Amino acid sequence: MRVKQLVKIYETLYDYFGDLHWWPGETPFEIAVGAILTQNTNWRNVETAIDRIKSADLLDPMSLYLAEDAVVADLIRSSGYYNIKTKRLKAFLSFLHQEYAGSLDKMFCEELWTLRKKLLDVKGIGDETADSILLYSGNMPVFVVDAYTRRILERHGIVTADWSYDEIQALFMGTVPQDISFYNQYHALLVNTGKHFCRPTPLCDRCPLVSLKLS
């Protein structure tokens, strides 16, 4: 039942938006950094921060790790929570250097769920950030659940507010298991839909999902 609803939503959004070419970012490392910086923050402010890191020539695992906290905090100021995000970036980089000699390629050689659990042990990396890194930086088959995903599904009566992250993820992953491009594209479509049509305050009138007659 829910499975068909999810497929219909996907098809509708894909018809409306087309290919979105996610994640915005040129390298796996840039994507991982972006995943941490975008926590509860507008993407525009994250882009500014990443541009500044690039301008300072610090957008690589070793340079960023060796940079002073105060320097990093200043560079990422526009992304908000800059002190705590500096610590989170450093915690991730410390993990990357200790466990994988600073190599994302080595890190992504791990088995998916083993790596996911290790990432969740890093302070500052929660469910969504871990999954964003796994899917968009590592090209691994895992579904990313975010605030937009939850809001859109709740508004269409597919889940209720008490569903956990893992439950919602399992719902999507039970639908089309092991399909990286589907997970990649679907999350991107949901985020775009959220940005344009599913803010906390109304705006639903032009949403492509509005006339869908779900449930």
Partner DNA sequence: CACCAGGCAAGTA
Partner DNA sequence: TACTTGCATGGT
- The 8-class DSSP code of residue 178 comes to T
Binding to DNA by residue 21, rule CB under 7 A? no
Question: Helix count (H) and strand count (E) of the chain?
Answer: 12, 0
Q: Which is nearer to DNA, 68 or 213 (CB)?
A: 68
Q: Give the separation between CA 11 and CA 18, rounded to whole angstroms.
A: 10
Query: Is residue 124 at the binding interface for DNA, with CB under 7 A as the rule?
Result: yes
Task: Using CB under 7 A, pick the residue from 89, 127, 175, 193 that binds DNA.
Answer: 127
| Residue 35 sits in the site that holds DNA (CB under 7 A) | yes
| Residue of 48, 44, 43 whose CA lies nearest to 74 | 48
Binding of DNA by 5 (CB under 7 A): no
Residue 126 binds DNA (CB under 7 A): yes
Q: Which of 10, 30, 33, 39 binds DNA (CB under 7 A)?
A: 39
Contact window for DNA (CB under 7 A) among 7-15, 77-85, 95-103, 169-177: 77-85
- Helix axis angle for 165-175 and 147-155, nearest 10°, is 80
CA distance 201 to 215: 23
DSSP string, 63-106: HHHHS-HHHHHHHTGGGS-HHHHHHHHHHHHHHHHHHHTT-HHH
Q: Which stretch binds DNA (CB under 7 A): 7-15, 16-24, 100-108, 178-186?
A: 16-24
* Piece of the chain touching DNA by CB under 7 A; list 40-48, 59-67, 172-180, 202-210: 40-48
Does position 78 interact with DNA (CB under 7 A)? The reply is yes
Q: How far apart are CA 51 and CA 1, in angstroms?
A: 44
Supply the minimum distance, in Å, between the C-beta of residue 4 and DNA. Answer: 26
Q: What is the footprint of DNA within residues 104-123 (CB under 7 A)?
A: 120, 122-123
